[in-house]
């Protein structure tokens, strides 16, 4: 047998921008918003188990959560809204694993997700760690979005969705426009437009 040490497995992903993002030690310098938008627009929520001719993408979900947060937390400034928009941004690398599978994987998955999220935040001038109040606000909007997606797109009965996601807040009819699945190109374009609007200097 050879005494050579085993070659370590590749732990980076090459992005369309040309960046190589190390999943174990991600650098903010290797994060590009175009890669995030492209990836999230092609990652399916609910493992693709949704109605319609297109997947319901994480990019579209992110815009839905942003719109809900704007309604239920109107006091959030543009930087806070950018954090909300990017709350699932790490999934452009690791995909959107459903909650039951995350529970099975446990801490290792969360560690990778947190490192990626921190690198993404630092890349765009946001705190690596999100303040607790903003985490709560984002989670509230995220759960409302999950309820709407579950009942409108993923086949859940209302009673079942209430048990898993809680009772949603009253929302204006304009939220409905975020619940008809868009094509990947449309989701990518809209996500980038919203990011640029929030990231623009005041």
112 is a domain residue: yes
CA distance 99 to 103: 6
Confidence class for position 108, pLDDT limits 50, 70, 90: confident
Give the contacts of 51 (CB within 8 A, at least 6 positions apart).
Answer: 153, 154, 155
| Backbone torsions φ then ψ of 21, nearest 5 degrees | -95, 120
Beta bridge partners, 170, equal none
Contact (CB, 8 A) for 35 and 19: yes
Integer CA distances (angstroms), 127 to 16, 61, 132, in order: 26, 23, 12
Give a yes or no: residue 68 inside a domain. Answer: yes
Residue 178 lies in a domain: yes
Reported as a single tens digit per residue, the pLDDT across 45-88 is: 999 999 999 999 999 999 999 999 999 999 999 999 999 999 99
Let me know if residue 104 belongs to a domain.
yes
Q: Indicate whether 13 belongs to any domain.
A: no
pLDDT value at position 2? 54
At 102 the pLDDT is 64
Rounded CA-CA distance 52/165 in Å is 23
Quick one: which of 202, 201, 189, 197 has its CA closest to 59? 189
Whole-Å CA distances, 88 to 70, 98, 120: 17, 12, 10
pLDDT digits (tens, 9 = 90+) for 22-32: 988 999 999 99
The pLDDT of residue 110 is above 90: no
Count of structural domains within the chain: 1
Q: What is the pLDDT of residue 44?
A: 97
130: nearest Cα among 76, 80, 89, 88: 80
Predicted pLDDT at 1: 47
pTM of the model: 0.91
Which two structure tokens, joined as six digits, stand for 185? 């190109």
Q: What angle do CA 36, 123, 47 make, to 5 degrees?
A: 25
Q: Is there a domain that residue 16 lies in?
A: no
> Which tens digit of pLDDT belongs to each residue from 141-196?
999 999 999 999 999 999 999 999 999 999 999 999 999 999 999 999 999 999 99
Contacts of 144 (CB under 8 A, 6+ apart): 68, 72, 165, 168, 169, 171
Cα angle 111, 116, 85 (rounded to 5 degrees) comes to 120
Residue 1 maps to a domain: no
Q: Which domain holds residue 148?
A: 29-199
pLDDT level of residue 97 (50, 70, 90 thresholds): confident
| pLDDT score recorded for residue 98 | 66
Residue 18 lies in a domain: no
Residue that is written with structure tokens 């040309």 in the block: 18
Give the CATH number for residue 120: 1.10.3210.10
Mean pLDDT of the chain: 92
């Amino acid at each position: 047998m050879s005494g050579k040490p085993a070659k370590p497995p590749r732990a980076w992903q090459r992005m369309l921008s040309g960046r190589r993002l190390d999943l174990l030690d991600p650098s903010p310098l290797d994060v590009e918003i175009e890669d995030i938008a492209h990836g999230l627009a092609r990652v399916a929520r609910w493992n693709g188990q949704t109605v319609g001719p297109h997947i319901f993408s994480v990019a579209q979900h992110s815009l839905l959560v942003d719109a809900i947060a704007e309604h239920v937390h109107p006091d959030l400034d543009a930087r806070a809204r950018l954090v909300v928009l990017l709350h699932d941004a790490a999934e452009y690398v690791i995909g959107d694993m459903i909650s039951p599978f995350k529970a099975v994987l446990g801490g290792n998955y969360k560690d990778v997700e947190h490192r990626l999220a921190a690198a993404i935040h630092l890349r765009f001038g946001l705190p690596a760690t999100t303040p607790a109040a903003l985490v709560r606000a984002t989670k509230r909007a995220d759960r409302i979005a999950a309820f709407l997606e579950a009942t409108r797109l993923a086949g859940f009965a209302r009673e079942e969705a209430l048990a898993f996601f809680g009772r949603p807040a009253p929302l204006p009819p304009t939220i409905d426009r975020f619940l008809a699945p868009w094509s990947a190109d449309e989701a990518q374009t809209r996500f980038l437009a919203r990011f640029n609007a929030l990231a623009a200097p005041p």
